[in-house]
A and B are shown apart, each in its own frame.
Chain A
């Protein structure tokens, strides 16, 4: 009798948290909550069925096949869409959502108590404190963010900002840190630990410190130094910048390109040169902070559509064109749709063919941020445009960064000559900020040359193929183990759900001990129930490295109960390991 009562109670809990969870899901994805028939949940035993029932598609791809009359006509959809990997999205299992909330609940309660203890002086307050003479000033900052940092983040702080003592390649040296005050301060012991690097954005493995590419960079440091000291508009345009820009234009298939010293600033400081008052920006819900900042600085009105949901995008576009500006109902001057190629936290690939079709239908302009896809997607690494087989001409502005696939820093915008000329004159970054230092530019130039095969080898192609193989292999193995993995099967960003904040600490520490460096992402970067491991695969990872990682995941997945998935995974056929066709780099690791 007691047992039955407990089960009923749990059921009530499930229902309640399901409602919360579905509401969150709707907020996060824009999918209407899937109603779950009451009888589907008699007890926890039928969980598998339930999960299958409300397995929604987070991307719009599979949905587009059954698109409604409002959606893009099928004939407009690009033929190359077929055969593209589908994205899986499995919502948080109910039990784990409840436990996660419970976990945060306890953390918050403990935090409250400790805050009271700190206030009364029973517990030492650690960390930075406002100076005595500044106490009369209005408090510099407050709110939940600080509570979170003080009481929750601090417990896991040893998993973030770990210093790297060397090159962030496929393997790296992590500094050993010690703390005597429970993560408030660290000091480095001087020892390092060699770990497999599953966190750095080094998709093509171009983070190198030897070989001909490296020698070219050294030459440039000697010739130009490590700074420029002037903006592009003044006297900061080096011949290297011009060479780089013509290579970017060639690689992306656009007429011209302009480059900047920081990827974040490329978005934040150029969007204001493109849109302004009276313009509308339609932005994906999960767009990067730099895009959001750029939109805010531009003064344009922004409307958000649900993450990679083409129906939602069309709804917003249609409403915008039909209704015009708020209050005055004047038509918008122009509409700019901003999407990313690969979303760095979700691993989703944008449904580009449909975005292009919608953009054409509603005469909007398209800004595509390829920060995580240039070099990493497509047969020859030319990004999601190549992946989907979309004509680069259909994307008005192609933006990307050099941090990820090129092992450098900075960003570019490639577009028609007219747009680039406008940006050369009106970009905040080109006018007020010093130009990209020469060694960074040279690193990118040599990477482009490799990718374009100008070095006389097939190294570039070989790397893109290896990355694609690694992605296929790693993702399918993880799924077979029973992990919930977000994103498309072809995406080099692999978010693996772990849900509980306590598992962040456990998994991070266990894996580091075993020589595996992981990036763990939790609230507030993700919704509260969607704490995850984010793996960024690299062409530099060997099969042995991946196998070692997978072994660890298999073992710890059982130990920490992280194999949450209840979906059946069909056996994926892993293609044979890619082989070189021609001679590669002589300095292959």
Chain B
């Protein structure tokens, strides 16, 4: 013990020596030391600074609450806004309709196959209404599954040659629910810039990483995919769990162009991305028997992972459906928000859609007739000066855009709207394609969206083109 102590304190000392040292120390030294000791004691005894609390008092809070003035819930809309003047339809039909009391040739509604006014769908709807009433009164899980839903799902699956179909009660919500059912945070979605708004909402709801490629530009898409591939090589572990999706439209609603699906399928297997395709505008239109883009391009429908179709176009009712393998579709039955949490499709609409599919199956030539009429119209429209017609000739959706844009979107839209209004006076129902300008990811140029209905005869088409030609030239002359 002694030895350890001596090791720590090698120089032994005594109080006597210490006292001596203190006596010999100069006065100033002692004074400084005393001051130091006092200062240290003071430091130890004083409290820490009271940090000024930034907690607000109740009075201050009340004042803040009193002072806060929220913005109005919605901005002011002028009462005389042109779009508020509703164009009221009192009679709708495949070839003609009455808008604001004026009858005209129908080139505005999206039921290309004229299913809304067909006897077969009407009878099916009447029969269903007699049996089931109007509403289904519940979501699918809770007594909202009516037998006609199951029949329609089976019919759609067998018609398209896929394992399973799933029915939604609203076209917009079909694709907007289907995408986020699979794509989650952390996944990557490659998407065409030309996709329509419901798809954009689906992408937004998924919270996945979005990578847009130029409309129908496969090189641009390949570049993006290659970039990702290079990244994944660096981190293969992450790559293994990162799902990648490719979201395209079969026939683009906003451009009338067709997706190069064969190339996309090639990319699918090369880069391991799953392909989701919205065929709302191509179902019942493209392909020999109306089965859509896959049939048109000679691609196996099973190669597309998920096909989404709205029944609000060619089938002429409301709602939509998804097609795919059982593995893919079953997941939506519990994870598709618009499927689980919404009342199911009214049975009379399901029956009407079923009848429409039956019509399509019984008369597959209807698609060819529609495409011929679309091509015919396309040729004639191309002759009108001052406008371009976008898309492929066989597309029943055509966007008429101005060749010489004024550079001002509103002015262009106004000009197109005046064409639409004048055409209505002359017996032709048209519409300007409506967009939410501030919400669209890639806003298309303003256009008049012309649709071709299979029931329109050649004479009516020629008459319609003449009306358009006259109206455009008149409007162009007026605007100089």
Contacts and interface: CB of A to CB of B under 8 A. Distances in A.
Nearest to B87: A235
A151 interface: no
Interface size class of B (residues with CB under 8 A): 35 or more
A546 B204 CA distance: 46
Contact of B341 (A288, A364, A443): A288
B69 A363 contact: yes
Contact of A172 (B143, B204, B315, B328): B143
Contacts of B198: 432-433
B128 to A, nearest CB: 9
A334 B110 contact: no
A163 B145 contact: yes
A200 B344 CA distance: 11
B150 interface: yes
Interface string B334-374: 11011011110110110010000000000000000000000
A496 B336 CA distance: 27
A541 to B, nearest CB: 14
Given A165-B147, A322-B64, A138 B272 contact: yes
Q: Of A138, A223, A336, which is in contact with the most chain B CB atoms at under 10 Å from its CB?
A: A138
Interface stretch (A14-22, A78-86, A404-412, A473-481): A404-412
A318 B58 CA distance: 11
A397 B73 CA distance: 10
A138 B173 contact: no
A141 B182 contact: yes
Contacts, number: 360
Interface stretch (B45-53, B134-142, B213-221, B402-410): B134-142
B146 A164 contact: yes
Given A138-B241, A188-B147, A290-B341, A362 B111 contact: no
A138 B244 contact: yes
Interface of B: 56, 61, 64-65, 68-77, 79, 81, 83-84, 86-92, 97, 99, 108-111, 115-117, 121-122, 125-126, 129-138, 140-147, 149-150, 163-164, 169-173, 176, 182, 196-198, 201, 204-205, 239-244, 272, 274, 312-313, 315-318, 325-331, 334-335, 337-338, 340-343, 345-346, 348-349, 352, 429, 431-436, 439, 449
Q: Of A136, A218, A235, A429, which is in contact with the most chain B CB atoms at under 10 Å from its CB?
A: A235
Contact of B88 (A153, A239, A421): A239
A41 interface: no
Contact of B134 (A224, A272, A407): A407
B77 A422 contact: yes
A406 B135 contact: yes
Interface of A: 127-131, 136-141, 145-146, 149, 153, 160-169, 172, 175, 188, 197, 199-202, 207-209, 214, 217-218, 221-231, 233-239, 242, 261-265, 268-269, 272-274, 288-290, 293, 296-297, 318, 321-322, 331-336, 361-365, 396-397, 401-404, 406-409, 418-419, 421-426, 428-429, 431-434, 436-437, 439-440, 443, 517, 519, 534
Nearest to A333: B71
A274 B73 contact: yes
Contacts of A130: 327
Q: Of B129, B145, B176, B349, which is in contact with the most chain A CB atoms at under 10 Å from its CB?
A: B129
Contacts of B147: 163-165, 175, 188
22 contacts: A138-B242, A145-B335, A163-B149, A209-B129, A209-B132, A226-B349, A227-B316, A227-B352, A229-B312, A231-B434, A262-B338, A269-B201, A274-B73, A401-B343, A404-B137, A407-B135, A428-B201, A429-B172, A431-B436, A434-B312, A439-B125, A440-B135
A452 to B, nearest CB: 19
A222 B126 contact: yes
Contacts of B316: 225-227, 229
A331 B71 CA distance: 10
Contacts of B88: 237-239, 242
Contacts of A167: 131-133
A293 B348 contact: no
Contact of B137 (A131, A202, A238, A534): A202
Contacts of A428: 172, 197, 201, 436, 439
B312 A238 contact: no
The main secondary structure of chain B at its interface with chain A is mixed
Given A289-B341, A297-B201, A433-B312, A234 B431 contact: yes
Contacts of A269: 172, 201
A175 B146 CA distance: 9
A235 B244 contact: no
Contacts of B134: 207, 217, 407-409, 439-440, 443
Contact of A227 (B76, B115, B435): B115
Contacts of A534: 142
Contacts of A437: 317-318, 349
Q: Of A363, A404, A406, A421, which is in contact with the most chain B CB atoms at under 10 Å from its CB?
A: A421
Contacts of A230: 108-110, 431
A141 B305 CA distance: 14
Contacts of A423: 74
A122 B100 CA distance: 69
B121 A225 contact: yes
Given A218-B129, A262-B342, A321-B65, A431 B92 contact: no
Contacts of A418: 74, 76-77
Nearest to A403: B343
Nearest to A438: B92
B135 A207 contact: yes
Contacts of A202: 137
A409 B135 contact: yes
A63 to B, nearest CB: 22
A517 B143 contact: yes
Nearest to A165: B147
A162 B341 CA distance: 16
Contacts of B312: 227-229, 433-434
B342 A226 contact: no
Nearest to B142: A519
Contacts of B69: 363
A235 B108 contact: yes
A293 B75 contact: no
A268 B129 CA distance: 28
Given A128-B327, A202-B137, A227-B318, A164 B143 contact: yes
A145 B182 CA distance: 13
A426 B92 contact: no
Contacts of B197: 428, 431-432
Given A199-B138, A209-B130, A235 B97 contact: yes
Nearest to A197: B143
A362 B170 CA distance: 37
Contact of B243 (A138, A168, A431): A138
B90 A238 contact: yes
Contacts of B132: 166-168, 209
Given A221-B129, A432-B196, A437-B318, A334 B170 contact: no
Given A175-B147, A199-B138, A268 B173 contact: yes
B140 A161 contact: yes
A432 B241 contact: no
A334 B73 contact: yes
B318 A140 contact: no
B133 A289 contact: no
B399 to A, nearest CB: 13
Given A264-B338, A519-B142, A407 B137 contact: yes
A59 to B, nearest CB: 23
